[in-house]
Amino acid sequence: MYETDFIAGSAELAMLLEVSATPKPGNVDRTHDFEDLAYEHFLGSSVGMFPAFRKAASGGHHIGDLILNAVRASATWQRAGNCHFGAILLLIPLCAAASRSSTIDQLRTNVTEVVRGTTTTDAVRFYESFRSVNVRVREQHYLDVNDPESTNTIQKQQLTLFDVMDISSSSDTIAKEWIEGFPRTFRGAELFKQIKESGQNLNESIVHLFLRLLSEAPDTLVAKKFGSKVAHEVSAKATDALKHGNIENLDKELISRRINPGTTADLVIGSLFVTLLGGFRY
Amino acid sequence: MYETDFIAGSAELAMLLEVSATPKPGNVDRTHDFEDLAYEHFLGSSVGMFPAFRKAASGGHHIGDLILNAVRASATWQRAGNCHFGAILLLIPLCAAASRSSTIDQLRTNVTEVVRGTTTTDAVRFYESFRSVNVRVREQHYLDVNDPESTNTIQKQQLTLFDVMDISSSSDTIAKEWIEGFPRTFRGAELFKQIKESGQNLNESIVHLFLRLLSEAPDTLVAKKFGSKVAHEVSAKATDALKHGNIENLDKELISRRINPGTTADLVIGSLFVTLLGGFRY
């Protein structure tokens, strides 16, 4: 079985490597901050969440409690709000599944079991997570979390967290990962391996993975903020940047238009977690 | 009492914030790597050591074992050698002392007790730390660690790790911290507070602290590599950069001359640890 600290550390390092990769078009990275959200906030959030990931990785806890716990831990040192909500939704079930896995193949099977085993209480805790802290607008694309009636509906209809994800899986990449068994997370890990083996350094490989995933499907957060047309346009631009290497221009353009493909960044984190857990060293 | 995870996280975040601050003249930072040592190696080393700092922060362990443990944990994901040796020598006793402290004043008293309580076995483990892993040349300025006779001498004369530090404290800033009760570490935390309150952002404040500490005393690592005259020259240049704001020029000059004031960076880490433990949020 994977060891608890190793699982939690893989989750944390995945977040640090992702936010550090530069230039990562449109997102905060080690060379650019947003007005009210700096690179250092991501560092503080990542370190703060280590104990929450270790708890998930020790097994036997409810996914909803673990999500709430991670969201709160994110604010241990940094005060810019939760900048890792999407990543938490991927990493918590992955860490819980890793606690009973010895290989990546087992992780893939177990993470499906973990999300399918969630309860109505998990769904209620998930909604609580939003209300208990300042989840940043960047992340507030999730379901109808701002509707105070949601919790009542969930309890009346006895919806599990898996059911809630199912409802929004057609328009939300992370919900879709839950429903389909994390296919893009695991595929991203395979893609990363290929890219890295082609001779690019670590930073370049992460940027390349981000562009590949972005080029393959419109980013959820961009679609929610700017509509489907812009999201498709951004994916086409990512394809073009991969072909012609004009990544810095794309970065400048997206930043000036305030378009940040945050959900794709979350996917990269999931893929890097699988990569690190699977034995990648550098 | 400070909580175990909070102590260990403060140690890890101190390392991440220090290596991220830019431009930090002559050292690896988020915008420049050395040929065989990249920013990402520092990220991986920091995350890998969290469990080692937690162990120190849980109290009751031998300092020598904790140092050896941290040195090994640094290599969990990154393979560039140990890039945090000096930081470990400051942080391990600080974490151990924090486990029995509730305030920074108590920490100051307790860390003196911790280092004075070290044994001959601690000294032997300390030398073992060097031999068990590839401690980078950057850090190999410590005592006569390359002499295989050292361990025998230590055992024959029953020297403690404190005694070993005492021997080199006249020429080594970190050894001097051990002997004198970590004065520059704690003073750095006070300086950081003043700098931050003067209105500089987090990154600028850390760079400013680095230059202040460098301007006040020659860097041990620079002195060992280039001699005392160059080390004093570098400190004078740091004073000048603080006065005239030409920090980027100093950075370029030191990098081109391969002068890296690594011991001053270690001190900054110690000061940031005290700062974060003491309640700093951002």
CA of A130 vs chain B CAs: smallest distance (Å): 21
A90-99 confidence digits (pLDDT tens): 999 999 999 9
Average pLDDT over residues A190-205: 97
Closest-approach residue (CA) in chain A for B5: A51
With contacts defined as CB-CB under 8 Å, which chain A residues touch B20?
30, 39-40, 43
CB contact under 8 A, A281 and B16: no
Residue of B6, B13, B47 best to disrupt the A interface, most CBs of A under 10 A: B47
> Strand, coil or helix: what is A246?
coil
H or E stretch at A85: helix A85-98
Closest-approach residue (CA) in chain A for B52: A5
Residue of B2, B40, B204 best to disrupt the A interface, most CBs of A under 10 A: B40
Asked if pLDDT for residue A272 goes beyond 90, the answer is: yes
CB contact under 8 A, B281 and A30: no
Positions in chain B whose pLDDT score sits under 50: 137-142
Residue of B3, B12, B13 best to disrupt the A interface, most CBs of A under 10 A: B13
H or E stretch at A202: helix A202-216
pLDDT for B141: 43
A106-136 confidence digits (pLDDT tens): 999 999 999 999 999 999 999 888 777 665 5
Amino acid type, B255: I
Average pLDDT over residues A40-52: 98
> Strand, coil or helix: what is A281?
coil
Hey, what are B68's tokens? Answer: 């050896």
CB contact under 8 A, B282 and A9: no
Closest-approach residue (CA) in chain B for A45: B13
CA of A29 vs chain B CAs: smallest distance (Å): 10
The answer to whether the Cα torsion of B34, B37, B41, B45 is positive or negative is negative
Instruction: Tell me what the pLDDT averaged over chain A comes to.
Output: 93
Give helix A39-57 / helix B39-57 axis angle, nearest 10°.
50
CB contact under 8 A, A16 and B16: yes
pLDDT for B144: 64
pLDDT for B67: 97
pLDDT grade for A35, boundaries at 50, 70 and 90: confident
> Strand, coil or helix: what is A118?
coil
CB contact under 8 A, A17 and B31: no
How high is the ipTM of this complex?
A: 0.95
With contacts defined as CB-CB under 8 Å, which chain B residues touch A20?
30, 39-40, 43
Which of B40, B203, B280 minimises the CB distance to A282? B40
Closest-approach residue (CA) in chain A for B77: A281
Which of B44, B79, B282 minimises the CB distance to A13? B44
pLDDT for B119: 98
Closest-approach residue (CA) in chain B for A202: B40
Which of B6, B51, B203 minimises the CB distance to A5? B51
Reported CATH class of domain B4-277? mainly alpha
Asked if pLDDT for residue A141 goes beyond 80, the answer is: no
With contacts defined as CB-CB under 8 Å, which chain B residues touch A192?
none
Whole-angstrom distance, CA of residue B135 vs CA of residue B132 = 9
pLDDT for B258: 95
CB A120 within 8 A of CB A158: yes
pLDDT for B151: 85
CA of A80 vs chain B CAs: smallest distance (Å): 8
